[in-house]
Amino acid sequence: MARASIEVRDLVVRYGSVVAVRGVTFTVAAGEHLTLLGPSGCGKTTTLRAIAGLEKPTAGEIRIGGAPVFSSSSPAVNIPAERRGLSMVFQSYAIWPHMSVFDNVAYGLRVRKRPEAEVTTRVREALDLVQLGELGTRSASKLSGGQQQRVALARAFVFSPSVLLFDEPLSNLDAKLRAEMRVELKELQRRLDITSVYVTHDLEEALAISDRIVVMRDGVIEQIGSPAEIYDRPRNTFVADFVGSANLIRGRRRADLERDGLVVIQTHGGALVHGTAPGRAAGDEVLMAIRTVRLRLERARPATPFNVWPARIRQRVFQGDFTQYHVDWDGRVLIVRVAAPDPLAEGDEVFVSADPRYCVLLEE
């Protein structure tokens, strides 16, 4: 299949006086799976729809496979959605209730006037790929949510589009099905080997299926990076907070103690925390983020030279996959998640420790 790159430059989308997207720039390499992640109202869906051609941007430029499909500067370009050669899976699935499953999937091929024999073969292949092989003649209105989702998928890729767009495709499924579909979707992406842009507000989904993630808020990009980067090296409090749970520690920079490329801050309670500042400028009063799962709890003092602090268990909350401890530390509460079954009890005196690689200096 033909894979195409996408370039979005200085994209602005305005509805009347409301600015939904205020100057967004990013690129998607051919064959890459990019995810736009952010809370509702951050402009991620609007950005996706602008790429699709369903939303007319106010300014900026969008290129697909190097050719401009929208440009506000001269010569102004705005190619309609149906001629951009993309495809899209909608949040509501948008399954046409008046057609059979087969006709739904065949739509894109029939629009392209493929011979009916080819339509039949390719629709069958697509339905097999999403494991709906036997449902072709079924009326589309008689499908379960998960089945509709699969039909929507098959319909979107059957005509070999150059780019596949996903608008929160899993948000209407229940939690268990969503987890299953996430794995299937990843497998499908690999098999189809196609460029994709995926929109979601679900962190796990974004981490699971993306090569790169764009975190958005209020119409601007907060951070772009690989899932691991986004997770372990959030750029600011918003990303740290939105992307999973993190402890934020405020302190004063102690440049006098820094060596081996590590940064050191001192909390108001006096504790010293060693961490990293991946290419970040920071002032005197700074914030550091540590993921709740990156903190360790031990009874005996571990033999590391720094980032070991005495603490006391205040509360224990058993949550199945992990146990969450609320720990009194340095005059405040830290949250620590431990996956192993642990005999620590409320009131126990323990040591908290953290690898400096996971203590990340934030920009704000």
Judged by the rule CB under 8 A, the positions of this chain that interact with other proteins are 52-54, 80-83, 85-88, 90-92, 94, 96-98, 107-108, 111-112, 155-156, 159, 165
Which residue number, 156 or 335, has a Cβ lying nearer to other proteins? 156
Cα 216 to Cα 21, 26, 55, 301: the distances in Å are: 10, 12, 18, 41
Q: Quick one: 91 exposed, middle or buried, by C-beta within 10 A (0-12, 13-18, 19+)? A: middle
Cβ partners under 8 Å of residue 166, min gap 6: 88, 89, 196, 197, 198, 199, 200
Indicate the residue among 110 and 268 with the shorter CB distance to other proteins. Answer: 110
We find the least distance from the C-beta atom of residue 231 to other proteins, in angstroms, to be: 31
Reference 236, options 248, 254, 227, 253; nearest CA is 248
| Minimum distance from residue 108 beta carbon to other proteins (Å) | 4
Asked if residues 8 and 171 have their Cβ atoms less than 8 Å apart, the reply is no
| Complex with other proteins: residue 109 or 243, whichever CB lies closer | 109
- Supply the minimum distance, in Å, between the C-beta of residue 206 and other proteins: 22
Question: From the CB of 75, what's the least distance to other proteins, in Å?
Answer: 23
Q: Which CB sits closer to other proteins, 85 or 234?
A: 85
Nearest residue (CB) to other proteins, 161 versus 219: 161
- State which residue, 40 or 74, has the beta carbon closest to other proteins: 40
Closer by beta carbon to other proteins, 85 or else 225 = 85
Beta bridge partners of 309: 352
CA distance 84 to 95: 21
Enumerate the H helices of the chain as residue ranges: 44-52, 101-111, 116-129, 145-157, 175-192, 203-209, 227-232, 237-242
- Could you tell me the smallest distance in angstroms from the CB atom of residue 208 to other proteins? 24
Q: How far apart are CA 356 and CA 360, in angstroms?
A: 8
Shorter beta-carbon distance to other proteins: residue 104 or 247: 104
Do 44 and 38 meet the contact criterion of CB atoms below 8 Å apart? Answer: yes
Query: Residue 153 or 361: which CB sits closer to other proteins?
Result: 153
DSSP class per residue in 278-297: TT----SEEEEEEEGGGEEE
Question: What CA–CA distance (Å, rounded) separates 85 from 28?
Answer: 16
Token output for 274? 């060693």
